[in-house]
Structure 1
Amino acid sequence: MNLESPKINVDKSPQAVFDFLSNVKNFESLMPENISKFELLEDDTFLFALKGMPEIILKKKEVVPPNKIVLGAAGGKLDFSLTGDITETGENSSEVQLTFNGDFNPMMAMMIKGPISKFIETLATSIPKSI
């Protein structure tokens, strides 16, 4: 299953956006209002839970400064990744798109497609306000 957020324009350089997203603690400010738990486990790993959903642990898996950050599931039964692609659009502006990629059975994919789509859209649209 592959889901993409809308492309979001940010009035910051790709390096500034990359630096913000590289610090996993900053993801707390991007979370939706229905977050019930956020905990920094290590410098590159955090745990979060949304009301009515199981806890999810994300770990920084790959960084390509200043254009790409990949977070992946750390443990648990689900294997997925969340990729932030950052593209320069001007001297001090960039575009960010989040992509969720996971391998789920058809029933699970059907159940989580809506909530995950909304979740990554919320994360992406919160970036310009949070940097």
Structure 2
Amino acid sequence: MMPGHITAAHGKNVLSVSAGIITSVWQPGSVVDVHDAKEAMRAVEQITGGTPMPMLSEMTDVEISAAARYEFAQTAGVLAIAVLGSSTVDRVVAAAMKRHTRYPHEFFTSRDDAMAWLNNFAAGGGSRPEGYPDGISALT
């Protein structure tokens, strides 16, 4: 694992790792295409040393192409992802990303709730926690 942080996607994305959780912060107003997604996933692999970990992805006011959403969903670099957003549009984008994921994927408007959910995975449990009222599963 690399210390510090990594910038990816031409500066649109900053990644770091703390307490076994990857934090990925996308610059508000960014438009993310498939090349940005691939670069971000390479950065995840680099910062984690190839060991899959849970991820908090802050994606407030970020537009993500369909090809980028598919690319993110195919990654093997994360154990689970909590998407942190603040609007209905953010929630819809997160729901669209969830369609093809191979890992637990939930939307939150509270950083504390997202981190509590991710800590279940960071602790090595790897199982899907139940009863997260702010998650997308409540919508589907």
Q: TM-score, normalised by structure 2?
A: 0.28
**Structure with the larger RCO, 1 or 2 (CA within 8 Å, 6+ apart):** 1
Structure richer in strand, relative to its length:
1
Structure richer in helix, relative to its length:
2
